[in-house]
Amino acid sequence: MRFMMIVKATTDSEAGVMPSQELIDAIQKYNEELVKAGVLLAADGLQPSSSGIRISYPEPGGKPKVVDGPFTEAKEIIAGYTLIEVKSKEEAIEWALRMPDPHGFGQGEIELRQVSEIGDIMDNPDSLAKEAALRNQLEEQKRA
């Protein structure tokens, strides 16, 4: 199963302040560990939101509203992500805990989210079985 570890922005990352050498080294070492465990799929850092735009749809069915960055509320902004493939949620949590503190001086935040894989037979045998049972039930109802 895949998980995305989302690193939230901090005042520094939004201001475009380069991370300290210490943090860069820690991240490199961590990424190496992920690779050596065969779990790293992809990882990227994003530019500050000042170069980003937001597209919103305030009116249902209406025209999109485009707003230029920067955006406020650093914690709602994503600064980077790491995508991993692991065997269990617990393993994902363990990797997320080992990720270095993003040095936000109190603002550091990492969010762990599972990537949804619809119809993924390898991850969710239960729901697949449930779905099959439901389908059988419907078939029988049709026949009756």
Contact of 66 with 55, CB cutoff 8 Å:
yes
| CA–CA dist 49, 52 (Å, integer) | 5
Contact residue for other proteins among 41, 133, 134, 138 (CB under 8 A): 41
Signed CA dihedral, 54, 59, 60, 63: sign only? negative
* Beta-bridge partner residues of 4: 83, 113
Determine, following the binding rule CB under 8 A, whether residue 116 of this chain makes contact with other proteins: no
Q: Which of residues 42-101 bind other proteins (CB under 8 A)?
A: 42, 83, 85, 87-88, 90-91, 93-94
Contact of 95 with 87, CB cutoff 8 Å:
no
Determine, following the binding rule CB under 8 A, whether residue 24 of this chain makes contact with other proteins: no
Q: Tell me the closest approach of the beta carbon of residue 130 to other proteins, in angstroms.
A: 13
Helix (H, G, I), strand (E, B) or coil at 56: strand
Contact residue for other proteins among 119, 141, 142, 143 (CB under 8 A): 119
Residues that bind other proteins in the complex, under the rule CB under 8 A: 35-39, 41-42, 83, 85, 87-88, 90-91, 93-94, 117, 119-122, 125, 128
